[in-house]
């Protein structure tokens, strides 16, 4: 399978949080799966940590090391993603999540997220 990790999923995985479902954790560590993190999620983490709204258990600069160590690839933002975002219904108001949804739709990725708003879009979601 090919997955796109929601921002909270990625952070909970790296921090070993019990909020991460066992199913999702096993999908991330399964070497047969390919996992992506959107550059938008890294942007969101940078913004929230610089504003003091997010406190990482590790330096932001170490994220690339964690990505590499866990075989998580960065998904860039393309014009096609933005075009897809423009056409999305406004079921979800968070701009970062809307971009993840547009990316997942365009790239045919399954999102690993517990965000219930994602279910209102034509995208595959796995959580628990």
Tens of pLDDT, residue by residue over 49-67, are: 999 999 998 899 999 999 9
What is d(CA 7, CA 51) in angstroms, rounded to the nearest whole number?
A: 17
Distance of CA 117 to the CA centre of its chain: 14
Q: Walk me through the domains of the chain, giving residue ranges and CATH numbers.
A: 6-77+90-126 (3.40.50.1010)
Residue 10 pLDDT greater than 80, yes or no: yes
Chain segment 73-117, per-residue pLDDT in tens: 999 999 999 999 998 888 778 899 999 999 999 999 999 999 999
Distance of CA 33 to the CA centre of its chain: 15
Residue closest to 67 by CA, chosen among 75, 77, 78, 55: 75
Strands (E), 1-84: 2-5, 34-38, 72-75
What is d(CA 12, CA 79) in angstroms, rounded to the nearest whole number?
A: 29
* Whole-structure pTM value: 0.94
């Amino acid at each position: 399978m090919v997955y796109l990790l929601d921002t909270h999923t990625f952070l909970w995985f790296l921090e070993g949080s019990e909020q991460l479902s066992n199913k999702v954790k096993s999908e991330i560590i399964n070497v047969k799966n390919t996992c992506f993190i959107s550059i938008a999620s890294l942007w969101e983490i940078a913004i929230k940590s610089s504003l003091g709204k997010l406190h990482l258990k590790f330096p932001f600069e170490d994220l690339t090391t964690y990505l590499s160590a866990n075989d998580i690839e960065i998904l860039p933002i393309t014009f096609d993603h933005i075009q897809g975002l423009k056409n999305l219904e406004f079921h979800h108001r968070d701009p970062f999540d809307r971009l993840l949804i547009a990316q997942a739709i365009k790239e045919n990725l399954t999102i690993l997220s517990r965000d219930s708003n994602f279910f209102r879009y034509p995208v595959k979601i796995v959580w628990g």
